[in-house]
Amino acid sequence: MEIRIDDLTGKDIQALLQQHLKRMHEISPAESVHALDLSGLQSPDVTLWSAWIEGQLAGCGALKQISPNHGEIKSMRTSENFIRRGVAANLLAHILQESRRRQYSRLSLETGTETEFEPARKLYERFGFEICSPFADYVEDPNSAFYTRALQQFSPAL
């Protein structure tokens, strides 16, 4: 699997992100959808990575800087042909590593409470994320689950 920063100009990544937004609106009420659209993902405070397997787009995940020491995971999505093949886990591990490299002390995320989001919640919990109160500009919402994780500093190999 190759994970690389994506400039969001390719038709494959744009289609996956459109599918992501469409699915979020199918599952959750509009006021509870916090997924970023393409322009939001192109913001200077957001980096999006795409994962590729044998030349095919397998998924994506983004990191948004909330403050100099706090990041937020955004737009985690696995392409339908690659579900349950470790794509999300690899992307999440990559985002955690990059967050440490950026010297963030905390990484947080918002996801849905509906049953369709259960695999995502289990993945985040497996990676040490814990339920928390709303962070940044979020407010309490019965359709949102908030998670956070303290980060140990990254020590590059000498």
For residue range 120-149, what is the model confidence (pLDDT) as tens digits? 999 999 999 999 999 999 999 999 999 999
Task: Report the alpha-carbon distance of residue 31 to residue 18 in Å, rounded.
Answer: 18
* Confidence class for position 158, pLDDT limits 50, 70, 90: low
Task: Report the alpha-carbon distance of residue 150 to residue 70 in Å, rounded.
Answer: 9
For residue 157, pLDDT beyond 60: no
Segment 40-75, tens digit of pLDDT: 999 999 999 999 999 999 999 999 999 999 999 999
In percent, the amount of the chain with pLDDT more than 90 equals: 95
Segment 15-25, tens digit of pLDDT: 999 999 999 99
Selection from 34, 69, 58, 53 nearest residue 143 by Cα = 34
What's the predicted TM-score (pTM) here? 0.93
Q: Are strands 144-150 and 106-112 parallel, antiparallel or unpaired?
A: antiparallel
